[in-house]
Amino acid sequence: MFSKKLGAVGFATLLAMFLSGTAFAECKFVGTHAGEPPFTIKVTDADTPEAKEFLETCKNPYTKRFVADPELAKKGKKKFGLYSCTQCHGGDGQGQTGPAVIDDLWQYSKHTTDKGLFETIAGGSDLGMPTWHQQLNGNPDSPSTDEILMIIGWIRANFKGKDPEKPWLK
Ligand code: HEC
């Protein structure tokens, strides 16, 4: 009797997991602020296939493409200028009042992954990086998922550090 009951509960749990299957596939972000709870970003009608893929898999489809084609990577650099990231990080990301984004001196070890970089750019940090994602700061003129992904693609394509591993290409 007891084991039968357990079996029923187990089955109900499995069924619930199956029915909400897409929720499990969603990329869950760990905020960079100390003690910040995990957050998700909603897929919108305006999202590109690349943005949708990232929100599902946590993998940035622009990275390999931009690294292979510096001409294409300029799309990301344009966004880096458009949103005045240059004011703190310099015109080429070489660093100014903010740290360089093109060397391998990462502020947080998770920045060797595109998911980690996305978390800091989208959500901001305690040490002066503003919150940029339009869904998180409530400003529709702020960058979208797609624009942040293009910027990350450019940061990877413009990498001047020595790390032979380049974990973001894996
Ligand atoms: C007001 C100044 C300021 C602006 C504007 C700004 N940042 Fe930052 N950013 C910072 C600071 C300061 C840090 C370091 C934060 C920390 O260590 O917690 C940082 C960190 C970063 C990092 C991590 C760098 C590393 O070495 O690990 C990236 C990537 C980054 N910013 C990208 C951007 C992008 C993209 C934009 C534009 C959308 C932007 N930043 C705009 C100040 C700024």
Per-residue pLDDT, 25: 61
Confidence of residue 21 (pLDDT cuts 50, 70, 90): very low
Report the nearest atom of ligand 1 relative to the CA of 111: 27
Residue 126 has pLDDT above 90, yes or no: yes
DSSP-assigned states of every residue in 51-76: HHHHHHHS--HHHHHHHH-HHHHHHH
Yes or no: say if 128 and 36 are a contact pair by the CB < 8 Å rule. Answer: no
Per-residue pLDDT, 3: 52
Q: Tokens 């499990």 appear where?
A: 24
| 3 state DSSP class of 105 | coil
- Residue 5 backbone dihedrals phi, psi, to 5 degrees: -60, -45
71's CB contacts (< 8 A; 6+ apart) are none
Domains and CATH numbers, the chain: 26-161 (1.10.760.10)
Tell me the CA–centroid distance for residue 160 and ligand 1, in Å.
17
Helical H segments across 34-144, by residue range: 49-57, 61-68, 70-82, 86-89, 114-123, 134-137
Tell me the CA–centroid distance for residue 129 and ligand 1, in Å.
5
Q: Quote the CA–CA distance of 121 and 50 in Å, as a whole number.
A: 17
The pTM score is: 0.89
Residue 12 has pLDDT above 90, yes or no: no
Instruction: Output the CA–CA distances (angstroms, integers) from residue 78 to 71, 117, 125, in the order listed.
Output: 12, 18, 23
77 Cβ inside 6 Å of ligand 1:
no
Structure token digits, residue 20: 């909400």
Per-residue pLDDT, 22: 46
pLDDT average, residue stretch 94-115 = 97
145 Cβ inside 6 Å of ligand 1:
no
**pLDDT tens string 46-103:** 999 999 999 999 999 999 999 999 999 999 999 999 999 999 999 999 999 999 999 9
